Amino acid sequence: MTNQTIPTASGEIVIQSVNKSYGYGKDLKEVVKDCSLTIEAGKLSVMIGPSGCGKSTLIRLLAGFEKPTSGNITINGKPITGPNKDRLVVFQESALFPWMTTEENILYGPKARGELNQKSKDLAAFLIDKVGLNQFKSKFPNQLSGGMQRRAELARALINQPEVMILDEPFRGLDEMSKELMWEYYANLYEENRLTNFFVTTDIDEAIFLADRLIIMTNIPTQVAEIIEVNIPRPRRLSALFESDEANDIKMRALKILHQEAMKSFKSGSKAAADFIDAYSKRATNE
């Protein structure tokens, strides 16, 4: 294989005074309220917020699957009017086609667009090698571990050369060891290509380990509560990160905001908020 690299063009997404509601009249539910945010080009922006606050709704708006009730969302200054290959989403659930091999799944995008040529095949081979699946390129999804499936998903997105990668809790459901390995794997991949990433999670450790910018959201209807710049040098290693005073300071600051927002949700009867508050209280007691 030649000294190939992943072709990338980093895009910038700007969210301006966005509102999103569902229903009408007394059944109207406001999910996103007056939300403004810039997802900076070439940065790994991580969004975290209370469970059920509206993070998934924001993902659908950024992907173009839905339109805001009001406000504007642009990519590189152009309005987002629908789905496009300049923004690709990696969801929580695997979207690999079970009847396709790893290689066929990764080549699906170029094939669907009528761009299946030697260049795309070479890029697929490079990506398969990059995500460590050379020995599994002829295997089907049910023959891959959860972590391998996640790596194949990343390669399938990257072959389309998006300007922004949008990830909706992509490592949720993996066991703890596999999850932490994927954090390091994904961070290494980002450090090589510096593609714009918008990563959504509910895991505070995952958020701090990955983020250049940590975006903390309010309770529903959601908007930005605070943005914390995570100026911890890269490359990062889990074994060292949480011995860092800066990382722990960021964690305590973020947890305080999340606790305040969870309390608001708890008062409205949210089970997820009650679980968070219980875990937060136990953490405080243990410390």
Tokens of 110: 């170029």
Tell me the residue type at 112. Answer: A
Gap between the Cα atoms of 75 and 64, Å rounded = 11
Q: Map out the domains of the chain as residue ranges.
A: 13-86+162-286
Tokens of 109: 């995008």
Please give the sequence-ordered ranges of beta strands (E in DSSP) within 149-217, or none if there are none.
164-168, 196-201, 213-217
pTM exceeding the 0.95 threshold for the entire prediction: no
Backbone angles phi, psi at 88, to 5 degrees: -125, 140
| Predicted pLDDT at 265 | 63
**Position of tokens 């966005």?**
18
Residue length, the chain? 287
Task: Tell whether the model's pLDDT for residue 272 goes beyond 80.
Answer: no
Tokens of 124: 């697929």
CB neighbourhood size of 218 (10 A) = 22
Is 54 buried (19+), middle (13-18) or exposed (0-12) by CB count in 10 A? buried
Tokens of 92: 């929580």
As a whole number of angstroms, the longest Cα–Cα distance in the chain is 62
Average pLDDT over residues 183-204: 91
Nearest to 13 by CA among 231, 163, 140: 163
Nearest to 222 by CA among 113, 63, 60, 102: 60
Cβ neighbours for 42, distance < 8 A, ≥ 6 positions apart: 10, 194, 195, 196
Average pLDDT of the chain, as a whole number = 88
| Predicted pLDDT at 2 | 47
Task: Tell whether the model's pLDDT for residue 164 goes beyond 80.
Answer: yes
Task: Tell whether the model's pLDDT for residue 212 goes beyond 70.
Answer: yes
Using CA atoms, how far residue 178 sits from 31, 32, 145, 226, 247, in Å, is 33, 33, 10, 30, 22
Tell me the residue type at 111. Answer: K
| Predicted pLDDT at 276 | 53
CA atoms within 13 A on the CB side of 234: 17
Q: Which of 99-108, 156-165, 255-264 has the highest mean pLDDT?
A: 99-108
pLDDT-derived band at 260, boundaries 50, 70, 90: confident
| Predicted pLDDT at 63 | 95
Long-range contacts of 17-22 (CB under 8 A, 24+ apart): 17/70, 17/71, 17/72, 18/61, 18/68, 18/70, 18/71, 18/72, 18/73, 19/68, 19/69, 19/70, 19/71, 20/54, 20/57, 20/61, 20/66, 20/68, 20/69, 21/69
Gap between the Cα atoms of 206 and 74, Å rounded = 27
Is 201 buried (19+), middle (13-18) or exposed (0-12) by CB count in 10 A? buried
**More confident: 191 or 100:** 100
What's the topology of domain 13-86+162-286? Rossmann fold (3.40.50)
Query: Percent of the chain, pLDDT > 70?
Result: 89
